Structure 1
Amino acid sequence: MRTALTLTAALAAGPAVADIDFASVLGGRSLAAAESDLSAIADPTPDERFALGGVRFLRGIERAFQLRYRVGLHDGLAVMSGLPVLRVPMGANPAPEPFTPDAVEVLFADIVTDMQAASDVLLTIGDADAVGVSVALGDLWFDIDMDGARSDGEGLLDLAGAALDPQIAATTIRFDTADAAWLSAYAHLLAGVGEVVLAIGPAEAIGAINDASESMDGLGGQPPSWSGMGSANEAAWIDLAAMALMALDGVPDAAHSRAAHGHFLQVVADNRTFWRRVARETDDDAEWIPNKAQTSATGLRFPPETGTLWLAVLSDAERVLTGELLLPFWRLGEGAGINLARVFEEPPSLDLAGLVHGVSLVPYMDEGPRAGADNLMLFSRMMGGDALLYALVLN
């Protein structure tokens, strides 16, 4: 029964039952039901812990999609924002609830909670734990309309297929011990972005711009576009820019910015754990991200130096996050820059004039070595025109 519960958790179970077809076991069960069953297991195996972490990760994405569906954030400014989860186009709700300005903050607050819950269980998986969880990516789906059944447009590949290489979309992956750290890193990345949004707190700006847009629409102006209307016109871009500038015109919440800082540092730490574990693997079984002696089941080519260069990129990012390397600023010469660690610790006012001139940033300016882009350029050169795709896969 435990194995069946694990399999129906939106991830297939480990090596002993790898021949079970995931689609037939999943049936019509929801991620919420699977999470409930997995959470109830008193002494879960490593496979079950990975499955629970994976389900919580997917459930967090699903809950965000469900909130968007409920209030009509299917297109328009939501997609144009470029923010994770919001930027994914999705089917429209024919009868949405009224949109409220705090919906975006609620969405990202839930993401922070769900991603932390996913990482908490994934980090219980240690080096000595043997994990083998097989997933056919085409079997993953989100109950966006909350009817309990898979509908057109609810599959992972329906929603993200345009951003994925066709080779990735049509494959089955056997996730292993190393991949627990990889998924934890992704959870912390999303949680960090969520905390940044919460630190800025865009609800008031969204409400003000929406109210003004509706008033102007009543006088023959362009229609508001959070509902998906008018997403291709200039008015929508101006609305979005105005929201961003109004939201940034203030001092971010320090508690949320500090939390974001911690999540971003954990992304680097989890990646180091992942690559250390990957380097020790001797099998070559439907790998997601391979070591030098393995191949990826996705069909993507990972050059032998992928791990080394990606860790170098992340090491540079970590040194920026800790203030060891400074960010360049146009008024400062070599040997001086912005200490990003202090920006996260005690955020400055984000008014545009103060940021462009530098008056808001003077307390964060230091003497010291500045960050460069050499490692990122080497990574991009190695991956050619697919550097962005590989960065998305690697996180």
Structure 2
Amino acid sequence: MRRVTVLAAVLALMAPAQAQEATADLLRSHLYAGELAEGRAAMEARAAEDAEAAFGLGVFAVFEAIEETAQALYRHGFNPERGIAVGPFFGMPRAEAGGPAPEELTYDLLRGYLEAFVVGLDAARPLLMAASQGEFAVEIDVMQIRADIDGDGAAGEHESIGAFLALAAQMGERLDMGSGLAPDLDMPVHMFAFDRGDAFWLAGYTQVLAATVDFLLAHDFETFFDAGLHRIFPGAGLPMERRESTGTIFMERDSDALLADAIAMVHTISWPVIDRDRLEGARGRALAMLELSRQSWAAILTETDDHLEFIPAPYQTSPFQTLDVGKETVEAWLETLDVSQRILEGDLLLPHWRYSELGFDLDAWFAEAERTDLVLLFTGLDALPFLRPGEVASAESFAAANAVFGRSIWNYALWFN
């Protein structure tokens, strides 16, 4: 009888660990198979009592939002590399015809897809914030995560994060033109133990993405759509594809047409503001991202282990040989967050090359600007209403970041968000 009692006690102690292991296994199996809806349902059933499941629920919500948007764009032939990196200028020939014909894309359809994407990201954020209150460590090989991008009902090997990063790195090399400024997307380590610090990090990335989309949706960019987006939606029936480009100016047909479209796209970035709340909301999301990054680091710096860290504390092991994380790295990043917040709040002004005695009030611009015209902002006319005296940001404002990150700043920014 005593042996039975001892055995029961041991099994009772083992049960929570077995449940957590089962949750992690279930999370990984659905992520690696690209079964996002099924994974979300499985995590929902456990999230109230299981911190790993709560984190998984937020992860599946993020990837579902990405998958749904990607499928919508894929139906219209979304393919930046096929549309942009063509001709001898980039060393890539035109893609051979094949696969399903793209559906016709309209400006209103694209806006609808982007609006739905923001809704999906906003649904994921509170789930990740709830997960950040628990203690967990879920091991995930990020390169094996899949999503059904083309909407054929199955997530193939070409639809994994690993395959996507490989393609993005190739395109980045083409478009970088030897400058060396493109982020290095190579990941020597793929398996990470994601914890509550990473829940804050992923919640922050939902705001990075949503802020970018909200900024665009706050404007009427239909002329820009007509002038240049056939470059990333080749074959979707946009205006500039209705007649084939056959003439040349400088080099050859494809490269000259690309140059002409690039000029047209810059020229048509003169977007009227049509949704003030969404524009101011983009600024609010940027501020939220800064705060979530601080919360992420606060959680990371309390960790005592050193096991497959995605973003390590200074006393933990970095997964990237060329991107060290020391005490000065963290301090420089946190200082950069503070400087960025001051700029967003209008306390620290942005410099304008034409007006050395005044600074540009970014907070006032979000609240009052009637249009976004990059050329007129740069040349000065559209900057005039937002110039005022005050402290102006300079290289000294970002001295710590420049000293620590140097030319690797974009790699650290992509990693830390």
Please classify the TM superposition score into its range, dividing by the shorter chain length: 0.7 to 0.9
Question: Which of 174, 183, 192 matches 2:193?
Answer: 174
Identify if the C-alpha distance between structure 1 residues 359 and 207 changes in structure 2 by more than 3 Å, giving closer, same or farther: closer
2:211 pairs with 1:192: yes
Instruction: Indicate if the aligned counterparts of 1:339 and 1:366 stay in contact, CA closer than 8 A.
Output: yes
Distance apart, 1:282 and its partner CA: 0.8
Q: Which runs of 5+ in 1 are unaligned?
A: 1-12, 81-89, 223-229
Are the structure 2 counterparts of residues 44 and 21 from structure 1 closer, same or farther at C-alpha, using a change threshold of 3 Å? Answer: closer
Change (3 A) 1:253 1:294: same
Listed as ranges, the matches of 1:70-109 within 5 Å are: 70-75=75-80, 93-109=99-115
Higher Rg: 2
Deviations along 1:173-215, whole A, 9 cap, x unmatched? Answer: 0011111111111110111001111112323432366665235
SS at match of 1:233: helix
Deviates more, 1:233-242 or 1:56-65: 233-242
* Structure 2 counterpart of 1:265, one-letter code: L
Residues 151, 16 of structure 1: alpha-carbon distance in 2 compared, 3 angstrom cutoff: closer
Which of 48, 53, 76 is the equivalent residue of 1:48? 53
Find the aligned partners of 1:314 and 1:22 in 2 and give their Cα distance: 33
CA drift of 1:120 comes to: 1.5
The percentage of aligned residue pairs carrying the same residue is 28
What secondary structure does 2:257 align onto?
helix
Q: Which residue of 2 aligns with 1:327?
A: 350
Cα distance in structure 2, aligned partners of 1:121 and 1:344: 29
Any idea what the Cα deviations from partners look like across 1:36-90, whole Å, max 9, x if unmatched? 343455725322221111111222222222122111011358768xxxxxxxxx9
User: Is the counterpart of residue 270 in structure 1 residue 276 in structure 2?
Assistant: no
Report deviation, 1:385.
4.2
The reply to whether residue 338 of structure 1 matches residue 360 of structure 2 is yes
Q: 1:6: which partner in 2?
A: none
**Other-structure match for 1:119:** 125
Distance 1:295 1:68 in 2: 39
Structure 1 distance, partners of 2:34, 2:157, is 16
* Match 1:140 to one of 139, 145, 162: 145
One-letter code of the match for 1:386?
S
In the alignment, the residues of structure 1 paired with residue 53 and residue 23 of structure 2 have an alpha-carbon distance, to the nearest angstrom, of 14
Q: Alignment length, in residue pairs?
A: 362
Map of 1:7 onto structure 2: none
| Higher mean displacement: 384-393 or 173-182 | 384-393
- Scaled by the length of structure 2, the TM-score of the pair is 0.76
| 2:275 alignment partner, one of 212, 235, 253 | 253
Contact 1:143 1:149 in 2 (8 A): yes
Match of 1:130 in 2: 135
Deviation at 1:249, TM superposition (A): 4.2
> How does 1:1-395 map onto structure 2 within 5 Å?
16-17=21-22, 20=25, 28=33, 30-39=35-44, 41=46, 43-75=48-80, 93-127=99-133, 129-161=134-166, 162=169, 165-166=185-186, 168=187, 170-207=189-226, 212-217=239-244, 220=246, 233-299=255-321, 300-334=323-357, 336-351=358-373, 354-374=376-396, 376-395=398-417
SS state of the match for residue 364, structure 2?
helix
Residue segments in structure 2 that go unaligned for 5+ positions in a row: 1-17, 86-94, 170-182, 231-237
In 1, the alpha carbon distance for the partners of 2:354 and 2:303 equals 49
CA 1:390/1:352 → structure 2, altered by over 3 Å: closer, same or farther? closer
Contact 2:47-2:57 at 8 Å conserved across structures: no
Q: Sort the Cα spacing of 1:185 and 1:93 in 2 relative to 1 into closer, same or farther, 3 A.
A: farther
With the length of structure 1 as denominator, give the TM-score of the two structures: 0.80
Deviates more, 1:360-369 or 1:132-141: 360-369
Q: Indicate conservation of the 8 Å contact 1:251/1:350, yes or no.
A: yes
Question: Which has the higher mean CA deviation after the structures are superposed, 32-41 or 286-295?
Answer: 32-41
CA drift of 1:95 comes to 2.5
Q: How far does the alpha carbon of each residue in 1:118-176 deviate from its partner, in whole angstroms, 9 at most, with x for none? A: 1111122455x21222111122012112223232421101112326554x254210011
Tell me how far 1:341 sits from its aligned partner.
0.6
TM-fit CA distance, 1:267: 0.6
Q: Which amino acid aligns with 2:405?
A: M
- Classify the secondary structure of the residue corresponding to 2:159: coil
Residue 14 of structure 2 corresponds to: none
Contact 1:50 1:122 (C-alpha < 8 Å) held by counterparts? yes
